[in-house]
Amino acid sequence: MKPKQKRALITISAVWILTAVLLLFATNSFAQAQARAVGSGNVYTQLQLFSEVLMKLKQNYVTELSDEELIEAAIKGMLDSTDPHTNYFTADEFKDFTTSTKGSFGGLGIQIDKIGDYITVVSPMEGTPAYRMGITAGDKIIKVDGKNVVGMTTDESIKHMRGDVGSTVIITIMRPGVADPIDFTIVREIIKIKSVPYYFKTANGTGYMRISQFNENTSSEVREALKNLEAEGITGLIVDLRFNPGGLLDQAVDTVNEFIGGNKLVVETKGRTRQDALYTRYNTKARDYPIVVMVNEASASASEIFAGSLQDWDKGLVVGRNTFGKGSVQQLLPLSNGNGVKITTSYYYIKSGRCIHKMSNDKRLKGKEVSKEDLSKEDEENHNKVYYTAQGREVFGGGGITPDIEMENEFLTKFSAELRRKNIFFNFTVDYLLEHDIKVSKDPRITDMMMQEFLSYARKNEVDYTLADLDSARAYIENTLKSEMVRKVYGDLEAYKITALQDKQLQQTLALFDRHKTLDAMFEHADSLKKKKR
């Protein structure tokens, strides 16, 4: 069917459905219905017209038309005219949708969304096959096992990517800045979604807690992590929300509760038909040590509510990059046939009055062009809006959460990215430890001989490099080899601690605790940096 024909059928079918609904529920006379329609833009007359066209189409179209297919296309067409987060689900699709907030599932370990025609990686999940192989935010998936997925819905592409545990799938991606498509051969695993995958006490006494997403276990996992960290005598805390795509709103509120106490406003949802205010529900122990929240461009939705709430209540300093700006609220409504529809009903407004939602994101997620000038204008308008925290500090926003202190991102070199893409670190370390009878400590030394073996292994696997490439990537290679060796013997947590040494944003954040012993001192430092920019 040609695109124009399909659009026509979608429109006609939508009208047919609405006409049926009107006829079903009408209790007044035809004349009364017409009178009401005139007052509401003559909708009934237009529905009659399109209903007539529909009937002529069904009577005269060259082939038989499926009522079921037309109705489903009509529903999807109607919802597609709204925003990218308003969607129709079949019963199976609804089951897949709710799985991500429950326990575990089989797959690759990536958060994806459809941006334009492309299924795009929002974030790889830590500790999963996709994460280990170097799939990264921004990668556009164009094929799955050779099948073109460009233009597919997110749900359709997921069906192709998921499969039996232990089976292999080839993902072909387009990466910004890389001319040719890249193939990743990945073995599917059970993806266990742990909300707090890592927490530990750092060398300077600061606690570190990584929250990867907000699922049904988040608040309980955070409480457990805080209990253990505080038992170790931490003097401060870093909450890392970078690449956290969000999740369950109630869990975000309950997690905020752990830091600001009970009966405090966290977020309001305001829409056309209803408004709600969500408050913390229970009293918690006072946490007087300084807290810093790390965010970046991939921190979205519930993670933005968490970061913005700690900022608004002056319980945490926010550092990093401006967050994504996903501040719309969706409600899942069941349908009579067992399917469901997810409808955007309102926007999030955090305690200071800031609306998290960035309107241009809706256009971009639907594949519409948004110029750099439009983006700059939107950002400027948002950052010119001044709001105030509970203690009267100035914060800026709308369209995401603006950090108190900005920190630049760090990007892998092309050589380092290629080593990760081909899974060289993981595969080499497995072979190396099998061939060499060595005892691995928690801080292993990378010898010159091991480095030479690694580089030879990389060349055998068609990873070419120059001396300049090696010089720029040597520290990263040594650190990653250490991390992979430690992972095999001591597990993900100890490996993550080593990886953190290469994380410049994290190291900059840790340095704040060395220079400023209280949260107020950190606020003063952030304010002085803002004044220098003005």
pLDDT at 32: 47
Rounded alpha-carbon distances, angstroms, from residue 348 to 300, 319, 333, 526: 12, 21, 19, 26
pLDDT tens per residue, range 51-106: 787 788 778 888 988 777 777 887 888 888 888 889 888 887 776 665 555 545 56
Q: Is 312 annotated in the active site? A: yes
SS3 460: helix
> For residues 296 and 242, what is the distance between their CA atoms, to the nearest angstrom?
5
Q: Is 328 annotated in the active site? A: no
pLDDT at 28: 41
Helix H or strand E segment including 277: strand 275-279
pLDDT at 20: 39
Q: Does the domain formed by 198-329+344-358+370-406 have CATH 2.130.10.10? A: no
Q: Is 326 annotated in the active site? A: yes
CATH class of 104-192: mainly beta
Q: Where are the domains of the chain?
A: 3-80, 104-192, 198-329+344-358+370-406, 414-502
Residues of the chain with pLDDT under 50: 1-40, 103
pLDDT at 6: 39
150: buried, middle or exposed (CB in 10 Å: 19+, 13-18, 0-12)? middle
pTM: 0.73
> For residues 136 and 174, what is the distance between their CA atoms, to the nearest angstrom?
11
Catalytic residue among 301, 328, 346, 416: 301
Cα distance from N-terminal residue to C-terminal residue, the chain: 58
Asked if the domains at 104-192 and 198-329+344-358+370-406 fall in one CATH topology, the answer is no
> For residues 424 and 448, what is the distance between their CA atoms, to the nearest angstrom?
18
367: left (phi > 0), else alpha (psi -120 to 50), else beta? left
> For residues 339 and 93, what is the distance between their CA atoms, to the nearest angstrom?
8
Catalytic residue among 83, 139, 312, 404: 312
pLDDT at 102: 54
Catalytic residue among 326, 351, 358, 482: 326
